Structure 1
Amino acid sequence: MNRRNFIQKTSVLGAAALLPISAFTVAKKSKYKMGLQLFTIRDAMAANPLATLKAVKAMGYEDFEAYGFDSEKGTFYGYKSAEFKTILDDLGLSVSSGHYGFSPYLDKSEDELKRFVDLCIEGAHALNSPYITWPWIAPEQRTMDNFKLMARLLNIIGEQVTASGLGFAYHNHGFEFEDHNGENGYDIILNETDSDLVKLQMDMYWVMHSANTTPKELVAKHPGRYVMWHIKDMDKVTRDYSELGNGSINYVDVLPDPEKSGLEYYYIEQGGNFASSSMESVATSAAYFKKHLQTFL
């Protein structure tokens, strides 16, 4: 093994060694597995998925949300879906949701969309993932007409995914809350989708960053629909992403009641703005979460 390959294969493990063993222990058994959105550590997953999964498992992460499914190849992180599931099983890990690339299908036919959804269902079934999640639309797509179109497509996808025995959800960012002459995209999604077919994944950072409401207020208005959460902190100065505990969101006050929410899974996430590296950031967030927040879940 040359020096470059050795560094790639071992550097992702370094973050786990930065914290004492006591930081990775939990006194109380949680009802939920501690989850991580793998997009947070996309650089490490690209370099060496297996070593990365071993490292984050050592930090206490047990469950993941995937991203980057290649629908034509049927692969996650370069592995065939069945091969990736074997890796997860060997490590005692799970993937309970995935973010799939639905955005281009706003501009394609329903037949093309349904074919893509079938491929996503195959991938999710291969990983034994309970949820398929629509995560994002491109900036040029963020019009009120497209939000209305998307709501209709969400219902179509939700029906198809539900018929396959899986759940379907929509993940918010901040753009859904932007005002368009007294309307916003999130209200359209909430009001024009079938709550039995289209569940919601609440990104609490974006709610606190962009919405004129709070996670608790959203749950109170739509109890049982927020089946997944994304938990990440907000930089005190720039309002960019931050490690849990380093930012301005007081999650002790912000977290809704998980039963009222309908919570099934949560994922710690940090899209960027790492203090040092993505792996060190997820280690910091894991330690903070277990010390201060896991008791609520």
Structure 2
Amino acid sequence: MALSRRTMLRGAAAGAVAAGAAAALPGTASATGERGGGRPWSRRVPKDKISIQLYTLRSVLETDLEGTLSALADIGYRKVELAGTYGRSATEFRAILDRYHLRASSTHVGIDGDLDQAIADAKILGNRRSNVAWASYPTLAEWREFAGRLDAAGKLYRRAGIGFGYHNHAHEFARIDGVRPWDVLVRGTSRRNVSLEMDLYWVVVGGGDPVGEFYKVAGRVRQYHVKDRAPDGGFADLGEGNIDFPRIFRSNWPLEVDEYIVENDEPVDALRCAKTGYDYLVGVRF
């Protein structure tokens, strides 16, 4: 008899705890999933789950929108995550994406503006998910109030047939009066209304373990921002830093996420970063 999803979640979470939910650092893993001559692994990231956050390419998108999107398609991307439409309307931007056979499956949004218009734009763009990209407050009371607003927005998106989530940075893991804002958001929102877009780099920088944090909210992480960490703590192109992505992906595979989104906040060469990230995710084994 097939296990129920609840039983699978409970068993997977218990397994992660029993195994110690090893931290993502240190060390760099090869794209084959081998380390120090160890045996290769067979699982891989499906190509149709690979995306890229266009914030990574903002500098070149501002100067050559269509050429950059065309280059992403040539690399192999079929999905992108938006962070603005560069002066184009939702309809205009969708037409450009369609021209290059790209789909904006996700987008970064806020919740302080016109939510009805944001939802309408999301439908035009073809978004399956929308995520709040940033929030920061000095007190727990403000975080709790924000969690309530986040949940209310998520309900509107859910009723419109669009998934809704929150994207973390590092500060959500820094305690305020002994409590992490991340935990306030998790407890203050419904899993029906608010999913989680886990930025693996920022979890690590914030002192968390991506595997342990994943299982604490088992089933709510629907997307990863796959962003690597340089030895000096800055950003690195995928596979050139020290976050052990094969370990993270391997540990969390029973609850595989919907999208693996390439990102680098400060790339040296945006298009090279995009290609390196795509090639890494296609080649990684875990």
Q: TM-score, length-normalised on structure 1?
A: 0.77
Contact 1:97 1:129 in 2 (8 A): yes
Alignment of 1:1-297 (within 5 A): 30=46, 32-68=48-84, 76-102=85-111, 105=112, 113=113, 116-138=114-136, 141-212=137-208, 214-236=209-231, 238-255=232-249, 256-261=251-256, 263-272=257-266, 274=267, 276-291=268-283, 293=284, 295=285
Runs of 4+ in 1 over 3 A off after TM superposition: none
Report SS of the residue matched to 2:183: helix
Contact 2:45 2:281 in 1 (8 A): no
Deviations 1:85-141 (A, max 9, x none): 122122111011111133xx3xxxxxxx5xx11111011000110111111025xx3
Report SS of the residue matched to 1:56: helix
Q: 1:29 offset after TM fit, Å? A: 8.8
Q: For CA contacts below 8 A with separation 6 or more, give which structure has more relative contact order.
A: 2
Partner Cα distance (2:177, 2:110) in 1: 29
Give the letter for the 1:117 counterpart: L
Q: 1:234 offset after TM fit, Å? A: 0.2
C-alpha spacing 1:143/1:29, structure 2 compared with 1 (3 Å): closer
Partner of 1:13: none
Partner Cα distance (2:109, 2:196) in 1: 15
Partner Cα distance (2:235, 2:51) in 1: 18
Unaligned 5+ residue runs, structure 2? 1-43
Partner Cα distance (2:274, 2:138) in 1: 31
Partner Cα distance (1:99, 1:260) in 2: 23
Report SS of the residue matched to 1:79: coil
Q: TM-score, length-normalised on structure 2?
A: 0.80
Q: 1:222 offset after TM fit, Å? A: 1.9
Deviations 1:231-253 (A, max 9, x none): 010011x2111101111111111
Q: CA RMSD in A?
A: 1.8
Moved more, 173-182 or 278-287: 278-287
Unaligned 5+ residue runs, structure 1? 1-27, 69-75, 106-112
Partner Cα distance (2:138, 2:76) in 1: 37
Report SS of the residue matched to 1:254: helix
Contact 2:46 2:282 in 1 (8 A): no
Q: Percent identity?
A: 29
Q: Which has more helix, going by share of residues?
A: 1
Partner Cα distance (1:150, 1:117) in 2: 15
Partner Cα distance (1:234, 1:100) in 2: 25
Partner Cα distance (2:198, 2:229) in 1: 15
Contact 1:132 1:168 in 2 (8 A): yes
Give the letter for the 1:41 counterpart: L
Partner Cα distance (1:264, 1:247) in 2: 24
Total equivalences in the alignment: 242
